[in-house]
Structure 1
Amino acid sequence: MTTQEVSVELGIPVGTLRYYRSTSSGPASFRLGGRVRYRRADVVAWVDEQERATRRGEGAA
């Protein structure tokens, strides 16, 4: 996925995703042909991790 595609899917601004990439705090990414790409599975895993870390209320671990 491109940065723009991840931005649209998650509702996170491209600039924020770039910041996350620079601080290694966002979904795993890599370069393909000189362009940043994300594997969908890595994006989903990162969202799941964020949910586990911040979940409140019923069913919170």
Structure 2
Amino acid sequence: MQELTNAKGSRDPSRALLNGWISRSDLAQELEVTEGTLRRWTAERWGPPCIRAGRKIYYRRSVVVEWLEDQEAADHRRARRGMRR
């Protein structure tokens, strides 16, 4: 695993610990949705799964990618069904 350093050049262990995870606010920015949308998805048991660490919510990046791929496959299946009319 790549070791991350802070501005002073010393090791930043908190960043290495969260390597592979993304915060709710960062994910919202990347998906171009609001944090409220991500909260609603969680409440509705839809969207990528998340974990809570204290007051912070994190998503495993690899699981978010899998979830997005599943959405792409579902869209493809819906489009094919619509073509059979």
- In which range does the TM-score fall when normalised by the shorter chain? 0.7 to 0.9
C-alpha displacement of 1:30 = 0.5
Runs of 4+ in 1 over 2 A off after TM superposition: none
Identity of aligned residues (%): 33
Q: Secondary structure at the match of 2:33?
A: coil
2:78 is equivalent to residue 35 of structure 1? no
Equivalent residues, number: 57
> What is the rounded CA distance, in whole Å, between the counterparts of 1:12 and 1:46 in structure 2?
15
Larger RCO: 1 or 2 (CA < 8 Å, sep 6+): 1
Q: Secondary structure at the match of 2:57?
A: strand
2:23 is equivalent to residue 18 of structure 1? no
**Aligned equivalent of 1:50:** 71
> What is the rounded CA distance, in whole Å, between the counterparts of 1:49 and 1:10 in structure 2?
15
Larger Rg: 2
Consecutive unaligned residues in structure 1, runs of 5 or more: none
Q: What's the TM-score, normalizing by structure 1?
A: 0.81
Q: What's the TM-score, normalizing by structure 2?
A: 0.61
